[in-house]
């Protein structure tokens, strides 16, 4: 039986079990939770802060946080 599910960024990540144990999440996982997909180049530096935004705060907080990170990244390009 073939699965139609999008691959999760954690599926092949070497930090998967550390994140689970320490309640951490990365941007790739946050995009996956928020939008149902992620890009392979998305940053994978897990933090407790991002885990909290995903699992303990509302969806609006996560969206705002991801937007602010994107703006910050764009500003660093200039």
Q: Is the pLDDT of residue 52 over 90?
A: yes
**Under a CB-based contact definition with an 8 Å cutoff, are residues 35 and 62 in contact?**
no
Under DSSP, is residue 8 helix (H, G, I), strand (E, B) or coil?
Answer: coil
Give the tens place of pLDDT for each residue, 19-39: 999 999 999 999 999 989 999
Q: Is the pTM of this model over 0.95?
A: no
Question: Which pLDDT score, from 0 to 100, does residue 58 have?
Answer: 83
| Nearest Cα residue to 29 out of 75, 76, 12 | 12
User: What mean pLDDT is predicted for residues 50-59?
Assistant: 90
Q: Could you tell me the residue ranges of all domains in the chain? A: 16-76
Per cent of the chain over pLDDT 90 is 53
Question: Which pLDDT score, from 0 to 100, does residue 2 have?
Answer: 53
Burial 7-26, CB ≥16 within 10 A → b, else e: eebbeebeeeeebeeeebbb
């Amino acid at each position: 039986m073939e699965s139609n599910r999008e691959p999760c960024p954690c599926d092949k990540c070497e930090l998967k079990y550390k994140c689970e144990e320490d309640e951490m999440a990365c941007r790739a996982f946050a995009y996956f939770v928020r939008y149902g997909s992620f890009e392979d180049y998305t940053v994978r530096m897990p933090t407790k802060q991002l885990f909290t935004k995903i699992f303990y705060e509302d969806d609006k907080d996560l969206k705002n946080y991801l937007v602010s990170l994107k703006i910050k990244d764009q500003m660093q390009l200039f």
